[in-house]
Amino acid sequence: MTEQIPRRQFFNRGLGAGLGVALLPGVGRLTAVTGTAPIIVTSHRNQVSQNGITAGFEILSAGGSALDAVEKATNMIEIDPGDRSVGYGGMPNEAGVVQLDASVMDGRTYNAGAVAAIENIRNPSSVARQVMERTDHVMLVGRGALEFAKSMGFPEENLLTDGAREAWARWREDHSDRDHWGPPEHLRDREGSEEVDPAVVEAVAVHGTVNVLAVDSEGNIAGITSTSGYAKKIPGRVGDSPIIGAGLYVDNAVGAAGAVGRGEDVIKACSSYHIVMRMREGRTPEEACMDALRMIEERYRKVNPDYYPGEHFVALNRGGEVGCASMSGGARMSVMDSDGLRYVDGPGLR
C-alpha cells in the first residue's frame, strides 16, 4: 500500500521540476561563458522561455533598454499556463490559492521593486516594475499589492488552471495524520522517511522560479525574478524571489545574479548579493555562483552533514560573461546574444 507523504517532504522533492523541460532540438550547447553585450539570459530552458529571451533580445537589438527586455521575456513566461512554477498556471498554496512573488532591479538607477504573495495578477513582475517606478517603496505584499495592481490597471483574474487545481486536490486527498509542517528542513530527522506513491510526488512537487537578466547596448543592466513559490506553501509564505539581495541583485558597475531553489536557504545567505559582490572582486559569474553555493553548503554541514539543499544560481557581468552553477549538478541556462540562442552549462557542487 502506498504510504502518504508528510507535506514537508513534498517541499524537498523534484527541485528544478519547474526549470523548464523541453530542450530545444538544434539549439547549440556551450560550456564557454563568454557572450557579448547586448545579451539576455534566463535560468529557464524550455521553449516558452527561449521565445521570451528571443523577444527580449529583439528589444535589445533595436537599442531598447535592459529593463524593457527582461520585462518582455518574463511576461511571456509568466502567462504560460504549462509552467507550474511561475505566474498563471503556477501551483497553489495549501489553501488552493496561487500566490506569486516577483522582483525587478534596475542597475542604471539603483532602483528596485517587488511584490510578494500577490493573488489574481498574471504578470507580477510588471506590478513590481510599477512599484519600482511609480512609488517610493520597494515591496508591496498581499492585499496591498493586489489593490495597487488594480489601481494601476492590471486586470484581476483567476490564476488557478485545471491542471494545477487537480494536482493540488490530489495532494489534499492524500493528507494523513502524520502530515505536518515540521521543523526547518535542514534540522529535520531523516529517519522514518516513507515510501510514497511517485505519481503523487510528481503531481505536486513542483517548484521553480525564473530569473531573467540582461545587459543592453548602453551597458545598463537589469534583472527580474518571478515565481509562484512552493506548491502547498503556507498561505502568506514569501520566498527569496521578491527579496532584493536574495532572489535577485543587480549593480550596473558589476553585473546581475538570480536564484532558483529553496528560498529559505537563499534568504539566509543573501545569495544574489553575495554573487554580485564576488564578481565585483573579480570572480567570473560561474565562480561567483559556485562560491555562493559553497557558503550555503558549509553552514548547513555544521548542523546537519546529511542535508544538501538544492539551489541553482545564474549570473552575468557587465562585459557579457555569463555563468551558472547548481548544488546538485546539471546547471544550465539559456543565453541569447548576437551569436544566437544557446545553452550554457555550469558546474555542480556535488
Note the Cα 258 to chain centre separation in Å.
Answer: 7
Burial class (CB in 10 A: 0-12, 13-18, 19+), 54: middle
Does position 261 interact with ligand ASP (CB under 6 A)? The reply is yes
* Cβ neighbour number for residue 45 with a 10 Å cutoff: 19
Does position 241 interact with ligand ASP (CB under 6 A)? The reply is yes
Cis amide prior to 38 (ω within 30 degrees)? yes
Q: By rule CB under 6 A, what string of x and - marks binding of each residue 114-153 to ligand ASP?
A: ----------------------------------------
Place of cell 522533492: 13
Residue placing its CB nearer to ligand ASP in the complex, 42 or 65: 42
The end-to-end CA distance of the chain, in Å, is 34
Distance CA 329, CA 310 (A): 9
Stated as kind and residue range, the H or E segment containing 26 is none
**Per-position DSSP letters for 324-340, written without gaps between them:** EEETTS-EEEEEEETTE
**Which residues are part of the catalytic machinery?**
209
Residue placing its CB nearer to ligand ASP in the complex, 174 or 311: 311
Residue placing its CB nearer to ligand ASP in the complex, 76 or 260: 260
Does position 242 interact with ligand ASP (CB under 6 A)? The reply is no
Residue placing its CB nearer to ligand ASP in the complex, 17 or 138: 17
Does position 229 interact with ligand ASP (CB under 6 A)? The reply is yes
Q: Are strands 322-326 and 312-317 parallel, antiparallel or unpaired?
A: antiparallel
Residue placing its CB nearer to ligand ASP in the complex, 229 or 346: 229
CB of 98 to ligand ASP, least distance (A): 13
Distance CA 318, CA 334 (A): 17
Site for ligand ASP (CB under 6 A): how many residues?
13
CB of 325 to ligand ASP, least distance (A): 15
Q: Are strands 139-141 and 111-118 parallel, antiparallel or unpaired?
A: parallel
Half-sphere exposure of 253 (CA within 13 A, CB side): 6
Among 209, 226, 317, 326, binds ligand ASP (CB under 6 A): 209
Candidate ranges 74-82, 164-172, 236-244, 271-279; the one touching ligand ASP (CB under 6 A): 236-244
Candidate ranges 48-56, 69-77, 108-116, 206-214; the one touching ligand ASP (CB under 6 A): 206-214
CB of 195 to ligand ASP, least distance (A): 24
Closest CA to 277 of 296, 260, 262, 255: 255
Candidate ranges 1-9, 62-70, 171-179, 256-264; the one touching ligand ASP (CB under 6 A): 256-264
Distance CA 27, CA 300 (A): 37
Does position 208 interact with ligand ASP (CB under 6 A)? The reply is yes
Ordered strands of the 312-317 beta sheet: 248-251, 255-260, 312-317, 322-326
Does position 240 interact with ligand ASP (CB under 6 A)? The reply is yes
Residue type, position 345, single letter: D
CB of 226 to ligand ASP, least distance (A): 10
Candidate ranges 64-72, 259-267, 278-286, 322-330; the one touching ligand ASP (CB under 6 A): 259-267
Does position 272 interact with ligand ASP (CB under 6 A)? The reply is no
Place of cell 555569463: 322
Among 168, 230, 300, 313, binds ligand ASP (CB under 6 A): 230
Does position 207 interact with ligand ASP (CB under 6 A)? The reply is yes
Cα pseudo-dihedral 130, 131, 132, 136, rounded to 10: 130
CB of 109 to ligand ASP, least distance (A): 25
User: Can you give the binding site for ligand ASP, defined by CB under 6 A?
Assistant: 207-209, 227, 229-230, 239-241, 260-263
